[in-house]
Amino acid sequence: MNRLHRTSSKTGLGGITEYCRLNCNRPFTSHIIYIFTLSIMTILVFGNSLKNKFVYDDNILLVGNPTYKYFDTWKLLFTPFNPANGVEYLPVRDVSYAIDYFVWGENPVGFHLSNIIIYIFTGIICYFFSFKLLSILKNDSLQNESLNETCFVSFIITLFFIIHPIHSQVVSFIIQRNALLSAFFFFLTLYVYLLFEQSENIKMKIIFYCLALLFCLLALFSKATSVTLPILLLIITTFNKNNKTWSARMLQLAPFFLMGLMAFRLISSVARHTNVIKSNLIEFGAYSLTTKLATAIQIPCFYIYKLFVPFNLAPEYDIAFAKNFLSFAVVGALGATVFAFWYAWKNREKSPYLLFCLCWLFITLAPVLNLMPTQPVVADRYAYLPSYAFCFALSILLYRTAKLRHEIWLKAVCLFYLATLSGVAFYENTIWKDEKTLFTTMIQRAPHISKGYANLGYVYFNEKQYDKAFGLLQRAYQLDPTKPDYELKRGMIAFRKNNLEEAIGYYKKALAINEQSMAANYFMGISYSRLGDYKSALSALQNVLDSTDADTNSFKYKTMLNMNLYIYPKLKPELDVLRASTLQNPDDLGIRRKLADTLLQYGMLDEALGQYQEVEKRNNTDWQALFSMAKIYRHKKDWQTAMNYVKQALSLKPQEEVLLSEMGILHMAIHNTSEAIMWFGRISPKKHELYALSRYYTAVCYFQRGNREKAEYYFGLVDQNYPEMKLKTAPYTKKLAAL
């Protein structure tokens, strides 16, 4: 008691360290041995990743990024809707990249070394957390275990965790630093919170609680999936029988849930703003609850299989999940899940670890069950935190079996399995050596995914091996008709040779395949600008700003720069004349409308909106002005205001097909597909182009709702009557054919 009293009186890090040492309930030297062993194993298994280069998204989001390169603190921390990598607002990860840049420059060895160091520290915290967790989950069959045995089981759990091959993607792929950091702070939060719960000293309780809040915040801003952390804290405190009431537990956890909710709202808003969460995802039943649930039910089974048999791992998988809720795969997966939870609940007193592991697995998988549609649907990195549940359950099962039977062959099998996992992980790291090894392996292991072919094609294109490059790009398009990479690269060759009209032809073909392609719109705009066609250039560049694709190449920034430096100065004289005429004749609505229309055409939305509002004040029966304002608000993604203006226009022009089509498009944007179908159905066949688009959009709505029969009917109708639209329908019909 005197030693504990002296420790409690200390403050600062030294006091906390001494407190932890005395309260781990086992010899300090044994901790050092296990930590040293885990660290050495991590280095032996993952040390070969130091030879790897920057690959894949590293070269797009990290290499050469000025925010990291010049340690732009303001953009790193305080511009969530203009994040450092243009995609995600994760300031903890971004600061770590900036530190790496400061220390290593653009040497990939340094970045890989940082990943390994973070992984080592995660293993150490995982070990201490496992030891604390085992003391909570002890039951009648385990209560007689010595402290040495408990600590040994903690070591085995952590050993399985750190050598598992499914973690190779997280450690070897630098851009997955977010997963590494979030797991480190995730385990640290849980461990420190348990120290808070078990401490009896008020000062230490306050320190541990504040540290847990800090680490939780760091986890949340390392990776969005850390939003599950408060739920795990609640689960663990439920298993921790410390006689606290539910109200007391919830009061303690309230700040964690509040932080999690606020972080989720911010990060998801940024993801929508940067189009990480897509509004036009081409995935059958993407916005149908039953279809999404069918996929979500199957995903845990996929990961459990990969955790048991971690072979043939792939950077991305071409697995197709059943979409029908009543299919054998869905019913079987649901039945297995229900049975597992029923069995775990029934045996919760005898084997509480089983229920805990199931809760951990499903809670940490919840953010990646594709309920918010993103791509890819499944990936090894998504299993990083969930894999702890597998390692925990497997270690307990093997230890208890070996203890009961004392069979030497069982221990030999365990050692062989550990060695196999280590060997597979060591080999998987070599796949990430460079882009050729990575994408060649992706093609071998996921031959029906277009990304492998497209990215390997880019590699050969950069090496000027054009025959190989275009062969791979053609194959990529056959697999995914939404990817116009072949036309883009053909256009790039023509662009470099200054054959601008030829380049524009290829870019138009690319846009026929994917009208949202930022690259095609951007380079087409630059080509038009060099030809002196500034109006066409501005139209193409405006499409870049309106695109819903993720801006991973800073096209929007480059577009604004080109528009302000080269395009607007050429168009300024015309606008100045119109502005002067408007000032001289403020009541002439014809001149004001012409100025507003020109501003809208040139993408000057705010000024155009102001002029249209002036027109509306003087003449509220101008339905075209109302429609133009609706288009401006659609560009701003203010769907409700846009709808209100279209409704006003419809009250003046009830049968105007362009307004009916616009209303349908707006309802599609908010995924109200039933309303969208109704509006598209009101368009007359006499309006050929609008009617063709209405049939196409109707088919897309049924596709998004998961109604295969009607989607196939309407896509077939479009293909038969409007063959010029086959490039638009191809991605959808291919998906339907694969069901």
Of the given ranges (215-229, 484-498, 533-547), which has the lowest mean pLDDT?
533-547
Residue 7 has pLDDT above 50, yes or no: no
pLDDT at 6: 39
Of the given ranges (84-98, 294-308, 394-408, 438-452), which has the lowest mean pLDDT?
394-408
Q: In the 8-state DSSP scheme, what is residue 382?
A: G
CA end-to-end distance (rounded Å), the chain: 68
Q: Contact at 8 Å (CB) between 457 and 466?
A: no
pLDDT tens-digit series, residues 276-294? 776 667 888 888 889 999 9
592: nearest Cα among 559, 625, 562: 625
pLDDT at 362: 97
Instruction: Tell whether 482 is covered by a domain.
Output: no
Give the span between the Cα atoms of 739 and 723, in whole angstroms: 23
Distance of CA 372 to the CA centre of its chain: 10
187: nearest Cα among 243, 118, 106, 138: 118
Q: Contact at 8 Å (CB) between 313 and 380?
A: yes
Coil, helix or strand at residue 99: helix
Instruction: Tell whether 110 is covered by a domain.
Output: yes
Residue 17 has pLDDT above 60, yes or no: no
Percentage with pLDDT > 90 across the chain: 69
Residue 125 has pLDDT above 90, yes or no: yes
Residue 389 has pLDDT above 80, yes or no: yes
The per-residue pLDDT of the chain, averaged, comes to 90
Domain span including residue 39: 2-431
pLDDT at 714: 96
pLDDT at 22: 45
Span 608-621, average pLDDT: 89
Instruction: Tell whether 118 is covered by a domain.
Output: yes
pLDDT tens-digit series, residues 680-723? 999 988 877 889 999 999 999 999 999 999 999 999 999 999 99
Residue 245 has pLDDT above 60, yes or no: yes
Q: Contact at 8 Å (CB) between 469 and 453?
A: no
Give the span between the Cα atoms of 137 and 141, in whole angstroms: 11
Banded model confidence at residue 27, pLDDT cuts 50, 70, 90: low
pLDDT tens-digit series, residues 323-378? 888 899 999 999 999 999 999 999 988 889 999 999 999 999 999 998 877 778 89
Coil, helix or strand at residue 15: helix
pLDDT at 271: 84
Q: Contact at 8 Å (CB) between 106 and 58?
A: no
Give the span between the Cα atoms of 679 and 218, in whole angstroms: 47
pLDDT at 310: 94
- Please work out, in degrees rounded to the nearest 5, the angle formed at the alpha carbon of residue 58 by the alpha carbons of 549 and 375: 40
Instruction: Tell whether 658 is covered by a domain.
Output: no
Placement of tokens 């109604």 in the chain:
707
Span 120-125, average pLDDT: 97
pLDDT tens-digit series, residues 570-601? 888 988 999 999 999 988 989 999 999 999 88
Residue 635 has pLDDT above 90, yes or no: no
149 or 464: which carries more pLDDT confidence?
Answer: 464
522: nearest Cα among 559, 496, 494: 559
Q: Contact at 8 Å (CB) between 263 and 220?
A: yes
Instruction: Tell whether 250 is covered by a domain.
Output: yes
53 or 144: which carries more pLDDT confidence?
Answer: 53
Give the span between the Cα atoms of 157 and 353, in whole angstroms: 13
Residue 192 has pLDDT above 90, yes or no: yes
Give the span between the Cα atoms of 266 and 405, in whole angstroms: 53
Instruction: Tell whether 572 is covered by a domain.
Output: no
Instruction: Tell whether 604 is covered by a domain.
Output: no
pLDDT tens-digit series, residues 553-577? 888 889 989 998 888 898 889 889 9
Q: Provide the number of structural domains found in the chain.
A: 1
Q: Contact at 8 Å (CB) between 720 and 691?
A: no
The dihedral built from the CA positions of residue 547, 549, 552 and 553, taken in this order, carries a sign that is negative
Instruction: Tell whether 315 is covered by a domain.
Output: yes
pLDDT at 406: 65
Tokens standing for residue 15: 């006091």
Banded model confidence at residue 451, pLDDT cuts 50, 70, 90: very high
Residues constituting the chain: 739
Coil, helix or strand at residue 238: helix
Span 671-675, average pLDDT: 93
Banded model confidence at residue 675, pLDDT cuts 50, 70, 90: very high
pLDDT at 579: 92
